[in-house]
């Protein structure tokens, strides 16, 4: 693709739950600088509150 | 190092355009200086203010200064300004006084920060539905009515009851628990959420199974539900074993009222059974399976940013661009895209990353940071000169363990040249000092006695690297987490233990050798196997991110099963979009399409595959760094319901064909019957095909549209229109489509008599047999896997019992295999609709790009190695390795023919082969026998 | 006579039990100090020779967890 305007090699990911973390990891490992924004004091989202996950009953943490 | 965590931040505004956005962010105060906080917890211990702990859903208390949970990232305390006594009344300040590093800063203010980024991904997640306003369930009033998320905390070992299932009112263990499904979902009357939250059926079953595991078989668990929606991979089996193995009761009924029995706080439930009888049952505890909703803050954020929402307040997307919002350059993932489970959210998120990469690839690696490379000192032949650094961790270690005496003791150990004790070993000052000392004292091995290697080993290894030492010449002794923190009341024994741990670490590190991390170039070409919709999505995404891609398709055209489909659940015409997709793939100069082609042979491994493609007689070898398996699945050909004996009995795909061909005869039908679960959810095929309920309802509506007077019947077992597909189900009922439920042991019967076509079925409400005369029967047939064992063996990837490919991890690695460099998408993984196939195609591309973008792979140093002279070629290692790292050296090879060899690139260093080798021919570098023995021997003195 | 104090050598998997032992510390859960932990990359690495050697070196018990 040809770009008249140069693009910026960084991405803002809004939300530090499992979805945001996965996007951030993929992007950082693909050569982009990532800002991972989270409204609470730590990342992890609701998944960190779960005990086990279905259907394998793996620990969510 | 290229992810900057911005916690306590909120987004205000996005200006600019795709590729170049200016984003305004508000950074809220933590009141703790992150750079100073060492998470020792002294502040929380001293803080006098107790508040309800939201992490435990308010079931326990925490302090005003807190970390959300023990494993929180970043592991830094924060002060809750709404409850902090100092911030509210300017009194107290106990935390500030006690903090050993002076991290508490009450003067922090909200700050506005501007960021310049190329694109934005919105993954704000969901809010658990609050059932307080449901007066019939009395959640707010009755203590033993809890939400599923509260129950999740009750089950958790780190939760308020340490994992003991107990009631809120009296802490007694319940004997009978009931789950109520669809609280805040599929309900227009009470909460205006007509969508299905997609995950509650499964988590309720899971909670019931785990509760029984915790409390024993005598615990009675009952789940009250409308339709059981276990439509994901391995879910139906889970449901089946919950019913048959764990004895969980499933009751198809929506309970309307709960009454509390005053003396016992037990809960009386009245419901109507399937047979129509009114029943009363008493439970000790009730769990409300609450749904997901988009929080009002996220709704207003979306409005502020100009992002279109669906009727259910989720982000609006199309089936063909499932992670693109209405604003160019802004993408969406996770439950804001629609209610979904974890693997689906993980798939979305990788897809959203791909979508960003597609528009930003020109700027790849322009803003990322790379570590500086320091030449490594050669220590070959040197005797060990060990430096031991003992950490006080403020008072965390030194408050219990006599740190100076441990350091003093370390001096007496063999090969130890230097010891010191430090206030905080992890501080930047100390890293500089360790670097300095390594050079000054010529140290060639380092032991840090401090916290856990799980969090701090990488930091110290960086320090070794910057001092020119091989990073494997390092060992940690865990004298905090495994010692001072857990033996607080026996400081002398703790000190003794610290010495033992240091001695053991010193003994091990003395035997450590520098380990090499081999470097391997990654071929920058991709191979996608399968030219269906997910394969094309993967190839298109890889190409747009700059990678040359081959697509291999066994048939004569691209498109796969999508060529047979009429429309999506959102009403988009599939053929139009599919032609566009095929054209874009065909026109992309980076994509090479190989039609009528199959795989002849696959050699090599991650980064360097060599695959032979056979195209109608001719062969060609393609070199590629990664492979994506997108081989799809096939429609089941039924043998029941007289299929094939009457042209009026057709499959869903055949009806789609008629609809695509605008078959006029459909308009004149007086009645049409759909039969669901044909070949799915049967004992021999124990999975749900996921798409058929939506597909049939969609087509039923299409028939009703053509002829509103047509009698349309859908015979089903459970309607599984998950997420916002539920609107179609609702619409179908409104339009007069008649839904009749049947059970597996009483299936409908097709009778053909004198040209008449009749379906006999027992009506579930009346309990009476019915005869439906019809002119068209559509069988919603299963999606069946191709069970491609040849392909599985080519890439050394597994198939499950049903014949679908098995991903790396059911939750966290859905679009890749455990075998490095091989990725997975589409219906080869599990049945899924168009949007989910596309999203997984993009996700597989994203996962592949993380590998391709590295250009070189560094193997780990701690890997297994065969000593060929000892190897007996028995093959145990080859068969046991989960990562396919060992193989036999070819019989014709000049050296060590027939012996085992381990591919360092694939080896994960688990040591399974080492322990299994009957000849003792395999060693694990970094965890070698002599090292572990040295640790054991070093403990002799202690034990 | 002092009470018998068992001496326990434990081999913990780096990815689960070792981390769990770390978390026991984070949660300040107190337990007797009779255990000495050896971290292994996976319980797959565990060899019978390690048991025997620990026992012959004077351990009263060996605990493998992973």
Rounded Cα–Cα distance for residues B924 and B131 (Å): 54
Say how many CB pairs under 8 Å bridge A and B.
268
Determine, for residues B206 and A38 on separate chains, whether the beta-carbon distance falls below 8 Å.
Answer: no
| C53 in contact with chain B, both atoms CB, cutoff 8 A | yes
Task: Map out the domains of chain B as residue ranges.
Answer: 29-109, 127-293, 386-510, 521-632+786-857, 636-782, 859-941
DSSP reduced 3-state for B528: strand
Instruction: State residue A2's pLDDT score.
Output: 45
Which among B147-151, B158-162, B806-810 has the top mean pLDDT? B147-151
Q: Which chain B positions have a beta carbon within 8 Å of C23's beta carbon?
A: 70-71, 158, 481
- Measured in degrees and rounded to the nearest 5, phi and psi for residue B713 equal -115, 140
**Average pLDDT, stretch B719-745?**
97
Check residue B519 and give its pLDDT: 86
Domain boundaries, chain C: 8-65
Q: What is the overall mean pLDDT for chain B?
A: 94
Q: Which of A54, A58, A61 has the highest number of chain B CBs within 10 A, making it the mutation to test binding with B?
A: A54
Closest CA in chain B for residue C47: B915
Interface test with B, best of C4, C39, C50, C59 (most B CBs within 10 A): C39
B78 inside 8 A of chain A by CB: yes
Task: Collect all residues of chain C within an 8 Å Cβ-Cβ radius of residue B929.
Answer: 47, 49
For helices B834-852 and B533-544, what crossing angle results, to 10°? Answer: 40
Contact flag C47-B483 (C-beta cutoff 8 Å): no
C60 and B943 within 8 Å at the Cβ level: the answer is yes
Q: Which of B68-82, B577-591, C4-18 has the highest mean pLDDT?
A: B577-591
Would an 8 Å CB–CB cutoff place C64 in contact with chain B?
A: no
Nearest beta carbon to residue B850 from set A17, A29, A36: A29
A46–chain B nearest CA distance, Å: 8
8 Å CB contact of B486 and C29? yes
Q: Does C28 touch chain B (CB under 8 A)?
A: yes
* Residues in Cβ contact with B508 at an 8 Å cutoff, skipping those fewer than 6 apart: B475, B931, B932, B934, B935, B938
User: B360: which chain A residues are within 8 Å (Cβ-Cβ)?
Assistant: 7-9, 11, 32
Q: What is the C-alpha to C-alpha distance for residues B207 and B223, in angstroms, rounded to an integer?
A: 10
**Strand locations in B742-801, DSSP E?**
749-753, 756-762, 769-774, 776-781, 783-785
Task: Outline where B70-225 has alpha helix (H).
Answer: 85-89, 94-98, 148-155, 200-215
Interface test with B, best of A3, A8, A38, A61 (most B CBs within 10 A): A8
Tell me whether C59 touches chain B (CB under 8 Å).
yes
Distance CA B368, CA B382 (A): 38
Tell me chain C's radius of gyration from C-alpha atoms. Answer: 13
**Assigned token pair, B457:** 């080993």
CA angle, residues B288, B291, B297, in degrees to nearest 5:
125
pLDDT tens sequence across B222-231: 999 999 999 9
Which residues of chain A have a CB within 8 Å of the CB of B839?
Answer: none
What average pLDDT does the segment B261-283 reach?
A: 92
Q: Which chain B residues have a beta carbon less than 8 Å from that of A3?
A: 19, 362
The percentage of chain B sitting over the pLDDT mark of 90, rounded to a whole number, equals 87
Contacts of C23 (CB under 8 A, 6+ apart): B70, B71, B158, B481
At residue A4, the pLDDT reads: 56
| CATH T-level fold of B521-632+786-857 | FAD/NAD(P)-binding domain (3.50.50)
Asked if the Cβ–Cβ distance from B206 to A13 is below 8 Å, we say no
Query: What single DSSP character describes residue B482?
Result: I
CATH class, B386-510 region: alpha beta
What whole-number distance in Å separates Cα of residue B463 and Cα of residue B468? 9
Run of H or E residues at B629: strand B626-629
pLDDT band at B943 (very low <50, low <70, confident <90, very high): low
Q: CB contact, 8 Å: C51 with chain B?
A: no
Contact between residue B304 and residue B13 where contact means Cβ atoms under 8 Å apart: yes
For the segment B466-476, the average pLDDT, to the nearest whole number, is 95
**B942/chain C closest Cα distance in angstroms:** 8
Enumerate the residues of chain C whose CB falls inside 8 A of the CB of residue B474: none
**B493 contacts C58? CB cut-off 8 A:** no
pTM: 0.88
Nearest chain C Cα distance for residue B476, angstroms: 10
pLDDT confidence of residue B117: 97
Residue B185 is encoded by which pair of tokens?
């979902």
Helix (H) or strand (E) holding B579: helix B574-587
Nearest neighbour of B487 by CB, restricted to C33, C41, C53? C33
Tell me the shortest Cα–Cα distance from C37 to chain B, in angstroms: 8
Query: Which of B489, B496, B936 comes nearest C38 by C-beta?
Result: B936
**């909703």: which residue's tokens?**
B293
> Residue B329: its chain A contacts at CB < 8 A?
none
Residue A1 has pLDDT above 50, yes or no: no
pLDDT, mean of residues A25-32: 96
CA A57 to chain centre: 23
Was domain B127-293 assigned CATH 3.50.50.60?
yes
Any B CB within 8 A of C16 CB: no
Among B489, B494, B939, beta carbon nearest to C36: B939
Question: CB contact, 8 Å: C52 with chain B?
Answer: no
- CB contacts of C37 in chain B (<8 Å) are 478, 482, 501
Question: Rounded mean pLDDT of B782-795?
Answer: 96
Cβ B334–A61 below 8 Å, yes or no?
no
CA distances from B813 to A38, B819, B825, C55 (A): 23, 12, 11, 40
- Closest residue of C to B922, CA-based? C45
The answer to whether the CB of B829 falls within 8 A of the CB of B814 is yes
Q: Cβ contact (<8 Å) for B943 and C36? A: yes
| Residue of C3, C21, C52, C57 to mutate, testing the B interface (most B Cβ within 10 Å of its Cβ) | C57
Q: Which chains touch A (3 or more CB pairs under 8 A)?
A: B
Fold: same for B29-109 and B521-632+786-857: no
Per-residue pLDDT at B144? 96
**H or E, element range at A25:** helix A18-29
- Looking at residue B806, what is its pLDDT? 95
Q: Which value does ipTM take for this structure? A: 0.96
pLDDT at site B863 = 94
Q: Phi-psi region for residue B323, left (φ > 0), alpha (ψ -120 to 50) or beta?
A: alpha
pLDDT of residue B370: 83
Q: Say if the Cβ atoms of A16 and B342 lie within 8 Å.
A: no
**SS3 state of residue B101:** coil
Q: Which residues pair with B78 in a beta bridge?
A: B66
Task: Sort out which chain B residues have CB atoms less than 8 A from A27's CB and list them.
Answer: 353, 356-357
Identify the CA nearest to B726 among candidates B19, B29, B14, B226. Answer: B226
The pLDDT score that the predictor gives to residue B38 is 81
Write down the pLDDT at residue C1. 52
| Stretch A20-38: mean pLDDT | 97
Selecting from C18, C30, C57 the residue whose C-beta is nearest the C-beta of B454 gives C18
Q: Which residues of A touch B78 (CB under 8 A)?
A: 41
Residues of C in contact with B452 (CB under 8 A): 18-19, 22, 25
Chain B residues near residue A24 by CB distance under 8 angstroms: 3
CB contact under 8 A, B850 and A30: yes
What does each C-alpha distance from B555 to B143, B249, B578, B921, C22 come to in angstroms? Answer: 62, 47, 16, 47, 55
Chain A touched by B205 (CB under 8 Å): yes
Give tens-digit pLDDT for B190-212. 888 999 999 999 999 999 999 99
Interface contact A24-B3, CB threshold 8 A: yes
C33 to B488: CB separation less than 8 angstroms, yes or no? no
CATH of domain B636-782: 3.50.50.60
**The domain at B859-941 falls in which architecture?**
2-Layer Sandwich (3.30)
* Contact across the interface for B4 and A25, Cβ inside 8 Å: no
Verify whether the Cβ–Cβ distance B206 to A30 is below 8 Å.
no
User: What is the pLDDT averaged over residues B332-357?
Assistant: 97
pLDDT for B876-929, tens place per residue? Answer: 999 999 888 999 999 999 999 999 999 998 898 999 999 999 999 999 999 999
Kindly tell me if the per-residue pLDDT of B358 is higher than 70.
Answer: yes
User: What's the CATH class of domain B29-109?
Assistant: alpha beta
């Amino acid at each position: 693709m040809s770009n008249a305007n140069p693009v910026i090699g960084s991405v803002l990911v809004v939300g530090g739950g499992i979805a945001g973390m996965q996007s951030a990891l993929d992007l950082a490992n693909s050569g982009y600088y990532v800002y991972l924004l989270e409204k609470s004091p730590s990342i992890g989202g609701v998944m960190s509150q779960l005990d086990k996950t279905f259907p394998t009953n793996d620990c969510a943490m | 190092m290229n992810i900057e965590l911005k916690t306590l931040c909120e987004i205000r505004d996005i200006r600019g355009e795709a590729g170049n956005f200016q984003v305004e962010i508000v950074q809220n105060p933590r009141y703790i200086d992150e750079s100073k906080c060492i998470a020792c917890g002294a502040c929380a211990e001293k803080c006098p203010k107790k508040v309800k702990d939201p992490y435990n859903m308010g079931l326990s208390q925490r302090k005003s200064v807190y970390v959300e949970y023990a494993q929180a990232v970043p592991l830094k305390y924060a002060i809750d300004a709404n409850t902090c006594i100092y911030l509210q009344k300017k009194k107290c300040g106990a935390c500030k006084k006690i903090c050993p590093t002076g991290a508490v800063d009450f003067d922090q203010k909200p700050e506005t920060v501007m960021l310049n980024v190329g694109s934005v991904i919105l993954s704000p997640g969901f809010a658990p539905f609050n059932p307080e306003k449901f007066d019939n369930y009395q959640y707010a009033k009755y203590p033993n009515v809890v939400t599923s998320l509260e129950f999740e905390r009750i089950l958790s070992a780190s939760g308020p009851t340490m994992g003991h299932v107990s009631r809120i009112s009296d802490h007694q263990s319940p004997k009978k628990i009931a789950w109520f499904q669809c609280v805040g979902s599929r309900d227009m009357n009470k909460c205006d959420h007509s969508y299905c939250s997609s995950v509650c059926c499964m988590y309720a079953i899971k909670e019931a199974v785990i509760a029984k595991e915790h409390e024993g078989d005598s615990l009675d668990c009952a789940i009250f539900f409308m339709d059981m929606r276990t439509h994901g991979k391995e879910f139906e089996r889970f449901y089946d074993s919950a019913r048959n193995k764990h004895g969980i009761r499933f009751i198809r009924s929506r309970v309307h009222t709960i009454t509390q029995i005053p003396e016992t706080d037990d809960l009386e439930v009245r419901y109507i059974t399937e047979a129509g009888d009114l029943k009363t049952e008493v439970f000790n505890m009730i769990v409300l399976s609450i749904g997901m909703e988009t929080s009002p803050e996220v709704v207003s954020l979306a409005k502020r940013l100009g992002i279109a929402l669906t009727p259910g307040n989720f982000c609006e997307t199309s089936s063909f661009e499932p992670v693109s919002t209405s604003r160019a350059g802004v993408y969406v993932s996770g439950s804001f895209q629609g209610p979904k489970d974890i693997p689906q959210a993980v798939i979305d998120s990788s897809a959203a990353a791909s979508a960003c990469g597609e528009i930003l690839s020109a700027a790849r690696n322009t803003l990322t940071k790379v570590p500086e490379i320091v030449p490594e000192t050669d220590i070959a032949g040197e005797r060990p000169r060990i430096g031991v650094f003992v950490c006080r961790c403020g008072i965390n270690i030194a408050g219990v363990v006599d740190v100076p005496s441990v350091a003093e003791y370390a001096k007496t150990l063999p090969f130890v040249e230097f010891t010191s004790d430090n206030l905080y070993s992890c501080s930047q000052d100390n890293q500089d000092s360790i670097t300095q000392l390594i050079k000054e004292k010529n140290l060639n091995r380092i032991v840090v006695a401090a916290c856990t290697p799980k969090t701090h080993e990488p930091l110290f290894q960086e320090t070794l690297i910057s001092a020119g030492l091989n990073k494997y010449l390092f060992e940690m002794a865990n004298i905090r987490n495994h010692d001072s923190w857990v033996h607080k009341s026996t400081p002398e024994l703790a000190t003794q233990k610290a010495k033992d741990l240091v001695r053991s670490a010193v003994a091990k590190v003395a035997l450590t050798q520098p380990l090499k991390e081999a470097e391997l170039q990654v071929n920058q070409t991709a191979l996608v196997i399968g030219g269906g919709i997910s394969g094309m999505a993967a190839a298109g995404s890889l190409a747009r991110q700059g990678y040359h891609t081959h697509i291999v398709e066994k048939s004569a055209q691209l498109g796969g099963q999508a060529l047979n489909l009429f429309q999506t659940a959102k009403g988009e015409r599939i053929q139009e979009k599919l032609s566009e997709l095929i054209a874009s793939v065909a026109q992309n100069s980076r994509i090479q399409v190989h039609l009528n082609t199959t795989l002849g042979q696959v050699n090599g491994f991650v980064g360097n595959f060599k695959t032979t493609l056979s195209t109608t007689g001719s062969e060609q070898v393609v070199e590629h760094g990664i492979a994506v398996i997108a081989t799809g699945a096939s429609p089941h050909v039924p043998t029941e319901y007289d299929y094939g004996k009457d042209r009026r009995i057709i499959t869903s795909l055949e009806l789609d064909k008629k609809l695509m061909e605008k078959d006029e005869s459909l308009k004149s039908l007086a009645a049409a019957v759909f039969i669901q679960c044909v070949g799915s959810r049967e004992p021999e095929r124990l999975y749900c095909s996921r798409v058929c309920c939506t597909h049939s309802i969609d087509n039923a509506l299409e028939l009703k549209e053509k002829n509103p007077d047509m009698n349309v019947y859908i015979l089903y077992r459970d309607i599984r229109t998950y997420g916002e597909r539920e609107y179609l189900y609702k619409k179908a009922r409104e339009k007069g489509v008649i839904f009749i439920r049947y059970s597996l042991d009483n299936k409908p019967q097709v009778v053909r008599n004198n040209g008449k076509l009749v379906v006999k079925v027992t009506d579930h409400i009346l309990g009476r047999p019915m005869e439906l005369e019809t002119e068209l029967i559509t069988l919603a047939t299963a999606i069946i896997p191709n069970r491609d064992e040849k392909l599985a063996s080519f890439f050394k990837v597994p198939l499950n019992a049903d014949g679908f490919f098995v991903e790396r991890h059911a939750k966290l690695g859905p679009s890749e295999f455990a075998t490095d460099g091989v990725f997975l998408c589409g219906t080869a993984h599990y049945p899924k609709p168009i949007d989910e196939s596309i999203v997984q195609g993009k996700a597989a591309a994203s996962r592949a790009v993380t590998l391709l973008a590295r250009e070189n792979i560094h193997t780990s140093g701690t890997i297994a190695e065969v000593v060929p002279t000892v190897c007996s070629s028995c093959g145990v290692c080859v068969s046991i390795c989960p990562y396919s790292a060992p193989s036999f050296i070819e019989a014709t090879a000049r050296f060590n023919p027939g012996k085992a060899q381990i591919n360092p690139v694939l080896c994960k260093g688990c040591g399974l082969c080492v322990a299994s080798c009957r000849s003792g021919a395999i060693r694990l570098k970094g965890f070698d026998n002599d090292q572990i023995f040295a640790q054991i021997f070093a403990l002799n003195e202690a034990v | 006579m002092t009470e018998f104090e068992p001496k326990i050598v434990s081999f913990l998997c780096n990815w689960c039990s070792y981390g769990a032992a770390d978390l026991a510390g984070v949660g300040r859960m107190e337990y007797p100090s009779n255990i000495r932990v050896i971290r292994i990359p996976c319980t797959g690495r565990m060899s019978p020779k390690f048991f025997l050697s620990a026992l012959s070196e004077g351990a009263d018990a060996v605990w493998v967890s992973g």
